Structure formats: C-alpha cells, structure tokens
Amino acid sequence: MNEEAPGQKLFCMVLTTVPSESQSEVLAREIVSSGLGACVQVQPIKSFYLWKGEACAEPEWRLCIKTRRALYARLEGFIRAHHPYEVPQIVQVPIEEGAADYLDWVAAMTAG
C-alpha cells in the first residue's frame, strides 16, 4: 500500500460543490466507478460568496471524496471536465491520520 516515501501522507479528501442534487449524484457515481475515489459523501449546503461583483447566496451540494493523494491531479481533471461551474471549488485536504483498516480499503478501491 505504501507507494510514497516514508513520512508522506498517502490519502486526502477532495471537496467540490455543484448546484443540484442530481448533478452531485451523477458526479459521485462517476468518480467512484472510475476508481478516482473510494467513497463520495454528498451533503446539501448553502453557500454565500461574491461572484463578478455580485453577492450570492445559493443552495449547493458538497461532495467529499476520499482518495489517494497520488490521484489528485487526475481527479481534479475529471471534476473540471464534468463540472457545470466556470470556476469550480476543487480543494485537497490531506488526511494526517486515520484508521488503518479504513485507509487500506480506500487504497484498495482506488488501486485500479
């Protein structure tokens, strides 16, 4: 399982948002079926932000994708190719530690 140098963190969560539940479900299923993420959790949220000088308050669906850090670039490209926003949120949050059996499962689900 340990394919990176000792001391490097192997796993991360990648966060993105989409404007509808149906889009979140399609994207989540595609990410898991492609092996880019072991698990995608989807949650309804409301986002407040400025876009092109306008104050916005919009419902969104947040996707929290559990994956290996080595897959981040491919996952980012996949999200960009399938995302409806001009500038999508795509951020990586390193997993500093976690249950070994869970992280082994994440590794196995994203190995192919």
* Structure-block tokens of residue 101: 């059996």
CATH number at residue 27: 3.30.70.120
* Beta-ladder partners of 97: none
Closest listed residue to residue 112, CA positions, set 29, 21, 26, 36:
36
Tokens of 104: 């082994």
Where in the sequence is the domain holding 32, given as residue range(s)?
A: 17-109
The pTM assigned to this predicted structure is: 0.90
In the chain, the number of structural domains is 1
How far apart, in whole angstroms, are the C-alpha atoms of residue 65 and residue 83? Answer: 15
The amino acid at residue 57 is: A
State pLDDT tens for residues 19-75.
999 999 999 999 999 999 999 999 999 999 999 999 999 999 999 999 999 999 999
